[in-house]
């Protein structure tokens, strides 16, 4: 399989992860103009699974080092397979809540609150399990990320309070769903990271290569969608009318389906590169830098989608303080764990 040995290259791949994870939701914003997010989400999960399989059969099956995709899948320990599937299930319900929050509150709110909270929980959880790094830098960074989440919530409340009551779906609803998504999102990474060997070139028996782990993870995402996404179809928590599988088959144009699949491919590129790079950079740095996606998504929401255009005077200061707090906090966490 193809392995990354260079640390600078690994960091470059994680930066691409950050961009992918922060940008895929633009496809949802585009698709939501014509149909609801549960219908978009089916194509998204298909995109994740198709790309993970294609990558496993190409880069995961080439190269002289490590173990090929099919061979690794055949020898995988059942506990490791289950751990990757559980990661997919946890991520899936968290991501569905995140997509619902984006539908209600926009990218500039849902991402900083949900993924920021996931970053805080993930860092604390990882430090408790394996206390590596300077705790002063780590928890100072966590404090600044927490401050960024609070500033973003305040800015959102100011904007909602300034709008007509019939144009808002409720201040608490968007924030509440974002918080629930963040709590769940903070724990999926550990389940998939534990399946990877310390040395990708010489994997221990039973463990998964990054390519296999991502593919099995995608199966967990797709299969659990028949439970979670079906619920969102018939009981939409973001408002709007219920939809059915018939709507997916009859109302979706080829363009809409391709937009959803593209969203899944973009997100899966991010996870795949993150897993591949973690062999050289380490899971801690891969996770921490990858969560910079929050600022990428917030930038899309603020500067491209103009989600705070109707906010009252003074809100822009809060938004800039949020950006600065998040960037400095993320930098401290990466430095501490590096």
CA–CA gap between residue 197 and residue 176 (Å, rounded): 37
CA–CA gap between residue 137 and residue 127 (Å, rounded): 12
Which stretch of DSSP H or E encloses residue 146?
helix 135-161
Contacts of 313 (CB under 8 A, 6+ apart): none
Q: Is 136 exposed, middle or buried (0-12, 13-18, 19+ CB in 10 A)?
A: exposed
φ/ψ of 234, rounded to 5, equals -95, -15
DSSP E strand boundaries for the chain: none
pLDDT by 10s per residue, the chain, length 338: 999 988 889 888 988 998 999 899 899 888 887 888 899 999 999 999 999 999 999 999 998 888 999 999 999 999 999 999 999 999 999 999 988 887 787 777 787 888 888 878 877 776 776 676 788 887 888 888 888 878 877 887 777 666 654 444 455 788 888 899 999 988 898 899 899 998 899 989 999 999 999 999 999 999 999 999 999 999 888 667 899 999 999 989 999 999 999 999 999 999 999 999 888 877 766 777 777 777 787 788 888 878 777 778 888 898 899 889 988 988 887 777 55
pTM of the model: 0.84
- Kindly calculate the radius of gyration of the chain based on its CA atoms and give it in whole angstroms: 20
Q: What tokens does 288 get? A: 């921490």
Measured CA to CA in angstroms, residue 149 lies from 107, 135, 173, 229 at distances of: 13, 21, 16, 27
């Amino acid at each position: 399989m193809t392995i990354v040995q260079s640390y600078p290259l690994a960091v470059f791949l994680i930066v691409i992860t950050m961009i992918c994870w922060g940008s895929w939701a633009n496809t949802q914003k585009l698709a939501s103009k014509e149909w609801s997010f549960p219908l978009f989400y089916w194509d998204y999960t298909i995109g994740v699974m198709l790309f993970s399989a294609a990558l496993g059969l190409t880069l995961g099956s080439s190269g002289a080092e490590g173990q090929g995709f099919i061979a690794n899948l055949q020898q995988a320990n059942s506990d490791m397979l289950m751990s990757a599937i559980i990661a997919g299930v946890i991520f899936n319900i968290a991501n569905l809540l995140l997509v619902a929050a984006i539908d209600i509150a926009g990218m500039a709110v849902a991402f900083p609150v949900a993924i920021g909270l996931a970053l805080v929980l993930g860092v604390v959880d990882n430090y408790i399990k394996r206390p590596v790094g300077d705790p002063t830098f780590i928890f100072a960074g966590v404090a600044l990320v927490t401050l960024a989440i609070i500033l973003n919530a305040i800015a959102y409340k100011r904007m909602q309070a300034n709008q007509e009551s019939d144009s808002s779906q409720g201040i608490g609803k968007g924030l509440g769903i974002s918080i629930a998504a963040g709590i769940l999102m903070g724990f999926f990474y550990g389940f998939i990271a534990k399946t990877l060997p310390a040395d990708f070139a010489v994997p221990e028996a039973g463990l998964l290569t990054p390519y296999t782990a991502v593919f099995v993870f995608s199966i967990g995402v797709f299969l659990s969608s028949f439970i979670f996404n079906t619920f969102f179809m018939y009981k939409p928590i973001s408002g709007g009318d219920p939809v059915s599988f018939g709507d997916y088959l009859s109302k979706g144009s080829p363009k809409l389906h391709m937009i959803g699949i593209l969203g899944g491919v973009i997100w899966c590129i991010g996870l795949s590169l993150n897993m591949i790079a973690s062999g050289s950079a380490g899971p801690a740095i891969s996770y921490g830098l990858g969560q910079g996606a929050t600022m990428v998504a917030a930038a899309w929401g603020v500067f491209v989608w103009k989600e705070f255009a109707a906010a009252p005077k003074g809100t822009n200061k809060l938004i800039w303080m949020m950006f600065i707090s998040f960037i400095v906090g993320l930098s401290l966490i990466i430095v501490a764990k590096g």
